[in-house]
Amino acid sequence: MNKTTYNVAKMDCPSEEQLIRMKLADKQDIEQLHFDIPNRKVTVLHNGDAEPITRALADLRLDSRLLETEDADLAELTEEAPRDRRLLLTVLAINGFFFTLEVLAGILADSMGLVADALDMLADALVYGLALYAVSKAVSAQKKVARISGYLQLILAAGGLVEVVRRFITGEALPDFGLMVGVSLLALIGNSMCLYLLRREKSDKAHMQASEIFTSNDIIVNLGVILAGGLVYLTGSSYPDLIIGLAIFVVVARGAFRIFQLSR
């Protein structure tokens, strides 16, 4: 058993982690993958030579570089703890709930910022769901789910971008900034709870680190929508809401294209 460690310079979010997992899914010699996203490192426990793994990672064009290969003790192979799965399901449920809340509130408040934030929550839920579903599934099933998730995410993002552009051109009514801020505060509390639960585990496992980073990004998005709501109130203009919505939709669309890479 060998343990090979790579530096992957462009691995900065869970999308790249899932991309690497899919790329290496058909490598029969791989026993386990460990991801350290903050430090841009991937550790592969495998049998045989590391060259096929190195070539596969190079194909992804994520600036991967082999750091070292050493003998690995079989004791390093560990099973995913059931509590990790329960925690991820909890985070998934919270994301699903706030997606529903924010999309309804966004429609009522006439706020593209809230709708975009809801879509960001949905994008997170899709990635969490994909990661959970992919366990013990065939590679073909994983790729099918990836394609479906990517298409759904891209369609929603494209629709949102078109609506933002339309509102820029036609000049819509002022959004309900009170509802914007109130619902975003609730979402901020929900994401903060998720982040607390994830950090409390102090796990160094790939999917847990990925979930923590995703949730941290969600908190930044929530703060952006709250700021936009405040600017709508201060300026009496809908432009802050449209600008934050545009920025979030672009991020979600970018994530959709990354998901398409998973299904290759």
The stretch 247-259 carries a mean pLDDT of 75
- Within 8 A by CB and 6+ apart from 98, the residues are 118, 121, 186, 187, 190, 191
In this prediction, residue 182 has a pLDDT band, given cuts at 50, 70 and 90, of: very high
Q: Is residue 108's pLDDT more than 60?
A: yes
- Per-residue pLDDT, 16: 82
Does the pLDDT of residue 258 top 80, yes or no?
no
pLDDT digits (tens, 9 = 90+) for 142-164: 566 667 767 777 887 788 888 88
Q: How many residues belong to the chain?
A: 264
Q: What is the reported pLDDT for 143? A: 62
- Most confident region among 10-19, 42-51, 135-144 by mean pLDDT: 42-51
Residue 123's pLDDT band (cuts 50, 70, 90): confident
Position 170 pLDDT exceeds 90: no
Average pLDDT over residues 185-209: 76
Q: What is the pLDDT of residues 82-98, one digit of tens each?
A: 566 677 788 788 888 88
Would the pLDDT of 171 be above 70?
yes
Averaged pLDDT, 125-147: 60
The pLDDT value given to residue 85: 67
Q: Please give the pLDDT value at position 211.
A: 60
Query: Residue 80: what pLDDT?
Result: 47
Task: Give the range with max mean pLDDT: 98-112, 146-160, 215-229.
Answer: 98-112
Per-residue pLDDT for 138 more than 60?
Answer: no
Segment 44-65 mean pLDDT: 91
pLDDT at 243 over 60: yes
Residue 78 has pLDDT above 50, yes or no: no
Considering 1-15, 147-161, 249-263, the range whose residues carry the highest mean pLDDT is: 1-15
Q: Is the pLDDT of residue 66 over 90?
A: yes
pLDDT band at 9 (very low <50, low <70, confident <90, very high): very high
